[in-house]
Amino acid sequence: MKLGILYTGGTIGCIGNPLSPMTLSEFKTAFNNIITPIIISEHSDFEVDFIDFGSSLDSTNLQPSNWCDMAKDILENYDTYGGFMVLHGTDTMAWTASALSFLLTGLDSSGNANAVLSKPVIVTGAQLPLFCEGADISDLSLLYNTDAFQNVCGAIESIYSGVPEVGLYFDNKLLRGNRTIKTNASEFDAFSTPNLSALGEYGVEFKLNNQYIKPAPVTQAVSLEQTSVQALLSEQLTYITSNINNSTVIPFNSYPAFYDDTSSPNTSILANMLNACIDQGVNGLVLESYGEGNFPSGNPDSPTDGAIYQALEQAHENNTVILDCTQVIAGTVNSTAYESGSWLSSVGSVGSYDMTPIAGLTKLIILDALKNYSTNNWQQADIETLLQSNIAGEIMNVNVLDCRENSTLIAGESISTLDGGITLINDYDKGPLLLDSGNNTLWQAIDNPIADDMPGRLIMQSDGNLVFYNSSNTATYASDTVQTSPATSKLILSGDSTSGVSLYVYYYAKNVVTKTLFTNQS
C-alpha cells in the first residue's frame, strides 16, 4: 500500500529544547530512515510519500481555512494513495478530524450525500515528539518512551484496515474523528469518544469493532473512487474555501452569572455578551449548556421576560442559527426534560442530541459556508434540519432507520421527528405506532395485533422492505417495497408537529421514495 502523509506540524514533529518544529524535509528524511524500515518489517508492500502542506502549523493558531487546505490536499491526491495520515498538533486535533469528515462529504441541495469517502483518513499526533536530536539535525533517533511511534503504527494499521471514514488514532484506539474530544492534557490517553465506542483497538493485534464503522459508499455513483465524484466534491470544496472565512460561528458557555429580573427591562451579564456577539452579525451560536441542555433565561419565574431569552430570540429573528449542546462530556441533549431548558425551542434553538460541541461548531461553519452554493439556497430552517441530521456519523439517527446502520427497533424503542413532537414507537403490545404529542395514534402497522404475537421487531431490511417480525419471528407486516440490489433504504420520519409529518421508505441508492406510509403534510 502507498500511504500519503500530510505533515501539518504539532509536537510529534518537534525536536530540541525548547521544542521547535522540524521542516517537512527534515521530518521526511528522519521518517524514511528510522520509521519506514520498521513498518516494512510488518507490511512488505508499504510505501510512503509526504504531501507538501507548506509551512508547519502550531495547531493552537489553526483557522477554518486550514481545514480546507488539508481537505484539498487529500482530494487532489486521492487516486495516488490507498489511505492518508494527517500528522497534527493535539490542541485542535479534534476540530480538524471533525471538519475533515464534513469537508470530504459532498452534499446535494437536499442534504443527501453525493460524494463519500472510500478510503481511510486518519488524524494522529502525540503528546511527545517522535524523534530526539543528537549532535546536529542529521543525527536523529527515536525518542525514548514516546507515544508518537505507537500512534504512527496504530494509524498505519487503521489505514490498512480500510475503514472508509475520517478517524483519529491515539493511545491504542481508533476513534471516529467527528465524535472525538480531548479529555486529558498531560497523559497519553488524551482523546476519547464518550458517546460512541472505539472503532478499533490495538493490543497484541489490531482489531476493528465492525458494528460501529461507517459503511462504504452505497454505490459507485457517490464514491470518491470515481473521477466525476471527485470533481463534484472539488467544486464544492472550492466554494467552501472561498466562503468559510465569512461563516462566523461562536461557542457560548453557560455559567453562573449575575442577572437582574426585577429591573425593567431585565438585565444580564450573559445577555450583554450575547448581544455583543449578535451585533457583530454572527451566523451561528453553539450553546454549551448545563446538563441535558439547560440554559439560564435570565428570569426563572418568567423566562420570556429574561434578558437572555430576549437576546437569543432576537438572534434567531436575525437569522442566527442556534444549536443547543451540553458542556457535559457524555450524554444526550434533551432540553425538554427540565423547565430550565424547555424554553429554548421557543427562541428557535435546536438540540444537538449526542453530537459534541466541537462537531456542532465545525458542522455549522461548513453548512453556513455552503448555504448559497449551486442550487442550495438553504434557509435558516434548512440548516437547522441538516444540523440535526446524520451526515458523517457525527450524530445519532434521530428520525431514521437505515438498513446499513441502525436498522432495527426492538420493543420499546422509537424514532421521532427532529423536534421530538411525533414518535414512531415499537409498542410492546401493539407493534409499530405513529403517535402525536398527545399519544394519539396517527398510523398503525398492524390493525388487530394478537397479544400472543407480541412483542416484536421492526426492521428496515437490506432488500428495501420494512418488516415487522412478531415474537415467533414471523413477518406480520411488510411495506412491500422490495428492490433489486443494491436495495439500500431508510425509513424516514420527516417534518414536525407544527407543519405536519411524513413517514416513508426512501430508496437512497436510487434517490426515490418507494412508499409513503403516512403523511398529513400539504
pLDDT at 55: 85
Q: Where are the domains of the chain?
A: 2-244, 248-387, 400-519
| List of residues 6+ apart from 26 with CB closer than 8 A | 137
Architecture of the domain delimited by 248-387: 3-Layer(aba) Sandwich (3.40)
pLDDT at 488: 87
pLDDT at 338: 59
pLDDT at 498: 86
pLDDT at 397: 95
Burial (CB count within 10 angstroms: exposed 0-12, middle 13-18, buried 19+), residue 315: buried
The parts of the chain modelled with pLDDT lower than 70 are 135-137, 335-341, 522
CB atoms within 10 A of CB 280: 9
pLDDT at 366: 99
Distance of CA 112 to the CA centre of its chain: 15
pLDDT at 509: 81
As a CATH number, domain 2-244 is 3.40.50.1170
The β-bridge partners of 467 are 459, 478
pLDDT at 483: 80
Instruction: Indicate which residues carry an active-site annotation.
Output: 11, 90
For 69, 100, 266, 321, 436, the CA distances from 246, given in Å and listed in that order, are: 16, 19, 32, 15, 40
Q: Report the alpha-carbon distance of residue 272 to residue 144 in Å, rounded.
A: 51
Which residues fall in the annotated binding site?
Answer: 59, 90-91
Predicted model pTM: 0.95
pLDDT at 92: 98
CA torsion sign for 325, 328, 331, 337 is negative
CB 285 within 8 A of CB 277: yes
**Secondary element (H or E) of residue 361:** helix 357-370
pLDDT at 208: 97
The CATH number of domain 400-519 is 2.90.10.10: yes
Which residues fall in the annotated binding site for substrate?
Answer: 59, 90-91
